[in-house]
Amino acid sequence: MSDVVSEFLITLDQAEDFQFLVHFDKENYAPLTMDEPPPLGKDNGPGAARALAAAVGNCLCSSLLFASRKNGLALGQIHTTVRVQIVRNERRRLRIGKIEVTIDPQLGEHDPETALRVRESFEDFCTVTSSIRQGIAVEVEIKGIPNNK
């Protein structure tokens, strides 16, 4: 994966303690308040794990809708649940251990072959989930603190 198709930039500004205001790159997007639950933060908004869960769920739903429309499979109102397990790694650090997504597209009468074709292909359209599964390179710079790695 080396061909950059697009790029965007978001900014985060600390409001207080562990609460941050996320500013998106489009004026019509409202800022998002993110916070950590106690004992660190005050739980005034979703934390990073919840934002990631929402991104995975949203991307999978959108991909299912796209693939369904492309293949002529009618869906009803989509309802999705995303269950996230937080685990401790060998160093006792909290990590996301598993994400379970259950999508209920309110299927009515449908052609089983079309539904199976959609089921087998829709996840390939999901940018977020496919990226997470493959691992994403994250480069971190802290201004004023050199990286010794």
Q: Which pLDDT score is estimated for 16?
A: 96
Query: What parts of the chain have a pLDDT lower than 50?
Result: none
pTM given for the model: 0.89
Q: Which pLDDT score is estimated for 140?
A: 81
Instruction: State the DSSP code for 136.
Output: -
Q: Reduced to 3 states, what is the DSSP secondary structure of residue 85?
A: strand
- 48-149: CATH, from 3.30.300.20, 3.40.50.300, 3.10.20.70, 2.60.120.10: 3.30.300.20
Q: Which pLDDT score is estimated for 1?
A: 57
pLDDT in tens, 55-97: 999 999 999 999 999 999 999 999 999 999 999 999 999 999 9
For residues 60 and 49, the answer to whether their CB atoms sit within 8 Å is no
Q: Which pLDDT score is estimated for 144?
A: 83
Q: Reduced to 3 states, what is the DSSP secondary structure of residue 88?
A: strand
Identify the CA nearest to 118 among candidates 51, 57, 60: 60
Residue 58 corresponds to which tokens in the numbers above? Answer: 């949203």
Please state the domain extents for the chain.
1-45, 48-149
